[in-house]
Chain A
Amino acid sequence: AQSVTQLDSQVPVFEEAPVELRCNYSSSVSVYLFWYVQYPNQGLQLLLKYLSGSTLVKGINGFEAEFNKSQTSFHLRKPSVHISDTAEYFCAVRSNTGNQFYFGTGTSLTVIP
């Protein structure tokens, strides 16, 4: 089975500052990795995904993430955040042989004007 740990439940950051949201996973098999964003009272929207190949993946809204196999991490970064980035962010993993997705408990990002 797989598991996902999001190390920070809340991250406050000032507008135009950089941000990193941390995600670590545990799995005995190869996995696919995802970051989703959720705005209040809405469903989840895919930000980016790592399937294979280049370890640096770019997503929507200026976000990027780096897959580190040795550290089993998939941290999400943005060089300059906007007020509109205030939301809940979820890291998820799916094994390359299974059909279930495993989610972290989420990180609440608050951008301060």
Chain B
Amino acid sequence: DGGITQSPKYLFRKEGQNVTLSCEQNLNHDAMYWYRQDPGQGLRLIYYSQIVNDFQKGDIAEGYSVSREKKESFPLTVTSAQKNPTAFYLCASSILPGPYEQYFGPGTRLTVT
């Protein structure tokens, strides 16, 4: 089945540690996105990528980094510079260009203590 996988489902880290969230898609989509979700705030865009080896900052990129070395993979690193990293993280992908929707992964819940 085609889709987006995110691993792990739950992730626990100590404050001050960097952590990398995995996102893989086998839909052959050009664009991939990372969102952060906090209660009552909807989805906020962290980074997105339209092509391999290129990505753009979203609204809340500070404290995060990404890479896009392969079309199907878009890992997100939450660095120790992120002030409040505990959140639900969603990865998505979409066909470009045109009238297409986003497909979402199941999400990773990150807890930093």
Q: Which residues of A contact B (CB under 8 A)?
A: 9, 32, 34, 36, 41-46, 49, 51-52, 90, 92, 96, 99-101, 103-106
Q: Within the complex, which residue of A32, A43, A49, A90 is in contact with B107, where a contact is CB–CB below 8 Å?
A: A43
Are A42 and B107 within 8 A (Cβ)?
yes
Task: Point out the residues of chain A lying under 8 angstroms from B50, CB to CB.
Answer: 99
Task: Point out the residues of chain A lying under 8 angstroms from B2, CB to CB.
Answer: none
Are B42 and A43 within 8 A (Cβ)?
no
Given the known interface contacts A43-B90, A90-B42, A105-B42, the answer about A99 and B97 at a Cβ–Cβ threshold of 8 Å is yes
**Number of residues in B with C-beta < 8 Å to the partner?**
27
CA distance A43 to B102 in the complex (A): 11
CB distance from A63 to the nearest CB of B (A): 15
CA distance A90 to B31 in the complex (A): 20
